Chains A and B, each alone.
Chain A
Amino acid sequence: MRVWAIIVKFWFDTKRDMFRLFDVFWWPAFNLFVWGLLSTYLTQLSKGSVNFVLLFLAGTIFWSFFDRASRDISRSMVEELWSRNLPNLFSTPLTLTEYLAGVLTVAFVKLVIGSIFLLVLSKIFYGFEISLLGWPVIGIMAGLMIFGWSVSFFIQSFVLRYGHTVEVFIWAVTVLLQPFSCVFYPLSALPVWAQWVARAFPSMYLFEQMRAIISGTPVRSGDIMISMALNAVYLILSVIFFYRTFRYAKSNGLLTKPY
């Protein structure tokens, strides 16, 4: 019931805000068109020897999984702080776990809706069929979503701890992580030092696998295992960090102070 209350709350809030629909539909579609047009042009330049459409569109769609998963959850906490609603919520029997369960459910549903929309658009405009990539794409999508959640837990913790001064990271983190995630190019394209940084992120392994599937080369199970292990570590650490930060916030009166 209390988890459902959080889900209903997000529905009430979303239906009155057209800009949230922009978030779900407009920006991903905008992104898809920009990359779609560029990749079509590049494919024409290469006289069809390389299928840029497949590479770039798959990259764009998969990256949106990470981007949305990370941003939606981080934003939910910031909006509670903006509206000074945290004292109302947490003076009820609602627990932090129930709150997170509600937020994650909403974020997942939005992610699914947004992704279906993108897939339909890419099919209509570029003839891109994600189903051709087979079942492993589900694993890649799940991995990117979980990594997005982990990042969002860290960001929410910092926002709770430091307030609006670190809010910019909600939007900036995807930009900062994208070069190291090798969304549109292989790991080998990065400078050596950056390759070492990239190896710390599960997203890099997942995008390498995506390219392997597209090019028809065998999927490296070792990479998949590493990405899963990294995801598990980040998720556990981020959740622990978030719960500890919430306790810190309660101890230091941060839940009740004006944002």
Chain B
Amino acid sequence: MDKIVLSTRGLTKTFGGFTAVDHISFSLKEGEVLGILGPNGAGKTTTLFMLLDLITPTSGDLTMFGMRYAQDREKILQRVNFASAYMDMVPRMTIMENLLIMAMLYQVKNPRQVIIVWAQSMGIESILGQEYQKLSAGQKTRAQMCKAFLSSPEILLLDEPTASLDPDISVTVRKHILDAKNRGVSVIITSHNMAEVEEICDRVLFINHGKIVAEDTPEGLAQKVRKARVQLMMTDGQKRTIAYAKRAGFPVTANGRFVTIDVDEDDIAYLLAGLADKGVQYGQITIDKPTLEDYFIAESRRNI
């Protein structure tokens, strides 16, 4: 049986009359990567901060490793770490100094060596002596990632860890997250990069207005979007194609010789049969299946 390392039941946070997180319940298994998706202001970061005991929940239950913050805060946080693209370190201190302090707070053995190893893997070894305030946004994010890994956490909480990173460094960060997962580390990650979520997450929670509106694998969520996109490179009958699609109620756009039609997956065969009846001819056809991004957009718009 998969070991549950984190569990929430009815976790709620209200600020005055505003409910930021509304009775969310989920669990995290050992070695699982859980993505939390949702539009801005959905409650993702507030949820992460509650998991870190930086914000006290208004109600609900939260256990980590079977313990609760009220009794075992230090024991829990010794086994958890986090990184956020939106958090800072002490600006006048160097990266090495900032990381040394963090290593001391987590009581890491041989902190300098550990820091150097992680700095090498994140490509910031050469700038360890630079003041944090002089770093670029990408370098700061990598410093934060070093901070997150240096205590060898069992649960890693990552708030948009690859925001403002170059694509090649993003690949490195994702590799480290997957390596951590393979070592049995459980990860919760928020991201607006849907391709990233599809690549590394085992399971995804979609949050909107503080509520979990869907929970599935990335593929499972994408399949909830029934729309597919059919693109035809017309050789004959472009006007007839557009007229037919409009009559059938399918959104259609044209760009040069290309006609793009949005249809439900179930209607693709009906569309193509109809076009064949009209005698139109096309030299190329592309059918794009829905992605997690399509789900994200559809779900976000539905709940505006």
Interface residues of A (CB under 8 A from B): 1-2, 4-5, 8-9, 12-13, 16-17, 83-85, 87-95, 247, 250-253, 255-256
What is the bound-complex CA distance between A8 and B90, given in angstroms?
A: 13
Q: Tell me the bound Cα distance from A31 to B262 in angstroms.
A: 77
From the candidates A13, A84, A92, name the one contacting B87 in the complex (CB within 8 A).
Answer: A84
Binds A, one of B95-103, B117-125, B203-211, B242-250: B95-103
> What total of chain B residues lie within 8 Å of the partner, measured CB to CB?
37
Total number of residue pairs linking A and B with CB closer than 8 Å: 91
Contacts of B102 in A (CB 8 A): 88, 92
Check: B267 CB closer than 8 A to any chain A CB: no
- Whether B82 contacts A91 by the Cβ 8 Å rule is yes
Are A253 and B104 in touch, CB under 8 angstroms?
no
Which residues of chain A come closer than 8 Å to B131, judged between CB atoms? 16
Note all chain B residues with C-beta closer than 8 A to A8.
Answer: 100-101, 104
B74: A residues at CB distance < 8 A: 93, 95
B236 within 8 A of A: no
Partner of B107, one of A1, A9, A83: A1
Task: Give B10-60 interface residues, CB cut-off 8 Å to A.
Answer: 13, 15, 45-46, 49, 52-56
CB distance from A4 to the nearest CB of B (A): 7
**Is chain B's interface secondary structure helix, strand, loop, or mixed overall?**
mixed
Min Cβ gap B228→A in Å is: 41
The reply to whether the CB of B92 lies closer than 8 angstroms to some CB of chain A is: yes
Output the least CB separation between B292 and chain A (Å).
Answer: 28
Interface residues in B73-91 by Cβ distance below 8 A to A read 73-75, 77-78, 80-82, 84, 87-91
A17–B55 alpha-carbon span in the complex (Å) = 32
In the complex, besides A90-B53, A92-B106, 8 extra interface pairs with C-beta distance below 8 angstroms are A5-B101, A12-B90, A12-B101, A16-B93, A83-B91, A91-B77, A91-B81, A256-B54
Task: Give B27 Cβ to nearest chain A Cβ, in Å.
Answer: 21
Q: Complex: how many Å from CA A8 to CA B97?
A: 9
Residues of A within 8 A of B87 (CB): 84, 87-88
B41 to A: closest C-beta gap in Å: 13
Whether the Cβ atoms of A93 and B90 lie closer than 8 Å is no
Contact across chains for A85 and B49 when beta carbons are under 8 A apart: no
- Least Cβ distance of B234 to chain A in Å? 53
Instruction: Tell me the complex Cα distance, A251–B59, Å.
Output: 11
Inter-chain contacts of B142 with A (CB < 8 A): none
Q: In whole angstroms, how far apart are the Cα atoms of A1 and B92 in the complex?
A: 23
> Once the chains bind, are B54 and A90 in contact (CB under 8 Å)?
yes
Distance of A253 Cα from B15 Cα, bound (Å): 8
Residues of B near A253 (CB, < 8 A) are 13, 15, 46, 49, 55
Bound: A94/B74 CA distance, A: 7
Which residues of chain B have C-beta atoms less than 8 A from A91's C-beta?
A: 52-54, 77, 80-82
Which residue of chain A lies nearest to B79 when distances are taken between CB atoms in the complex?
A93
Nearest residue in B to A80 (C-beta to C-beta)?
A: B90
A80 to B45, CA, bound (A): 20
B100–A256 CB distance below 8 A = no
Interface residue? B147 (CB, 8 A): yes
In the complex, chain B residues whose CB is within 8 Å of the CB of A92: 77, 102, 105-106
Docked-complex contact A94 and B105, CB < 8 angstroms:
yes
Contact B89 A88, beta carbon cutoff 8 Å: yes
Which 7 pairs between the two chains have the least Cβ-Cβ distance?
A: A5-B104, A92-B105, A93-B74, A84-B88, A12-B97, A91-B52, A93-B77
